[in-house]
């Protein structure tokens, strides 16, 4: 089990009304800019959690469908956005209209999907020809980090060691009451899978933190946690 249902209350508390540091100060602005550039009318948010990004898109007049396997998070999404379309299902088995969406979004959710190939097959099938896939993901060096990430030696500067980078594997991750299973995969695993579906890479970035407390922003920018990719499904 991924642990998301048991961790839902803690996750909702961490997100609060606006979202956590990484979303608010790193990812939201570039993700929304990419959405605006492509101007989708219908968006599928795969791994939507408590529905935060769906609500942000709905505020832009975009029709959204949010899918997530955690029943407690889907319940919170429905409570906060009663007019929204939220469905409880894993990406690997979700049932949504084939070619029914101008864009699919995976906003920090790919690391939660045990069967990446099955998930991508469903996600790509849901995108219309000429449509887009927008991804925000943890960097692979982050998910390959040794326990505790940053290490401060007795002498010298703190460092961020990684190990077993090429070894794809599940990893237990716990913080602030959240206790879940993520999946480490090297970057090539994602790239090869998406290229294998014939998608075309149109954007790649590792955005810096641009706000928040200065010390937290500077620490983040030493070892950024996230990358963003946009892909297009050929017409």
Structural domains in the chain (count): 1
| pLDDT per residue as tens, the chain (235 positions) | 479 999 999 999 999 989 999 999 999 999 999 999 999 999 999 999 999 999 999 999 999 999 999 999 999 999 999 999 999 999 999 999 999 999 999 999 999 999 999 999 999 999 999 999 999 999 999 999 987 788 888 898 889 999 999 999 999 999 999 999 999 999 999 999 999 999 999 999 999 999 999 999 999 999 999 999 999 999 9
Report the pLDDT value the prediction gives residue 99, as an integer from 0 to 100: 98
| Residue 166 belongs to domain with CATH number | 3.40.50.150
Report the pLDDT value the prediction gives residue 152, as an integer from 0 to 100: 87
Determine contact, residues 208/221, Cβ cutoff 8 Å: yes
CA distance 210 to 25: 6
Report the pLDDT value the prediction gives residue 154, as an integer from 0 to 100: 87
CA distance 231 to 204: 9
Instruction: Record the pTM.
Output: 0.95
Closest residue by Cα to residue 123 from 112, 114, 134, 139: 134
CA distance 227 to 143: 12
Q: What is the 3-state secondary structure (H, E, C) of the chain?
A: CCCHHHHHHHHHHHHCCCCCHHHHHHHHHHHHHHHHHHCCCEEEEECCCCCHHHHHHHCCCCEEEEEECCHHHHHHHHHHCCCCEEEECCCCCCCCCCCCEEEEEEECCHHHCCCHHHHHHHHHHHEEEEEEEEEEEECHHHHCECCCCCECCCCCCCECCECCCCCCEEEEEEECCEEEEEEECCHHHHHHHHHHCCCEEEEEECCCCCCCCHHHHHHHHHCCCEEEEEEECCC
Determine contact, residues 126/98, Cβ cutoff 8 Å: yes
Report the pLDDT value the prediction gives residue 2, as an integer from 0 to 100: 74
CA distance 73 to 4: 8
Report the pLDDT value the prediction gives residue 1, as an integer from 0 to 100: 47
Question: Range of 43's domain?
Answer: 4-232
Report the pLDDT value the prediction gives residue 42, as an integer from 0 to 100: 98
């Amino acid at each position: 089990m991924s642990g998301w249902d048991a961790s839902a209350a803690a996750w909702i508390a961490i997100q609060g009304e606006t979202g956590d540091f990484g979303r608010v100060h790193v990812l939201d602005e570039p993700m929304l800019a990419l959405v605006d550039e492509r101007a989708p009318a219908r968006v599928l948010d795969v791994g939507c959690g408590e529905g935060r990004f769906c609500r942000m898109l709905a505020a832009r007049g975009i029709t959204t469908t949010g899918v997530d396997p955690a029943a407690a998070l889907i319940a919170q999404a429905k409570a906060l956005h009663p007019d929204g379309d939220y469905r409880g299902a894993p990406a690997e088995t979700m049932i949504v209209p084939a070619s029914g969406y101008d864009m699919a979004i995976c906003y920090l959710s790919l690391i939660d999907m045990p069967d990446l190939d099955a998930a991508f097959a469903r996600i790509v099938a849901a995108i219309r020809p000429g449509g887009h896939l927008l991804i925000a993901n943890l960097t692979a060096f982050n998910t390959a980090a040794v326990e505790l990430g940053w290490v401060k030696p007795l002498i010298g500067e703190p460092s961020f060691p990684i190990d077993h980078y090429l070894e794809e594997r599940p990893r237990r991750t716990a913080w602030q009451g959240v206790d879940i299973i993520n999946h480490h995969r090297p970057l090539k695993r994602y790239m090869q899978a998406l290229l294998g579906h014939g998608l075309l890479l149109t954007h790649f970035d590792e955005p810096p933190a641009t706000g928040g407390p200065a010390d937290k922003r500077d620490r983040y920018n030493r070892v950024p946690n996230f990358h963003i990719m946009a892909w297009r499904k050929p017409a």
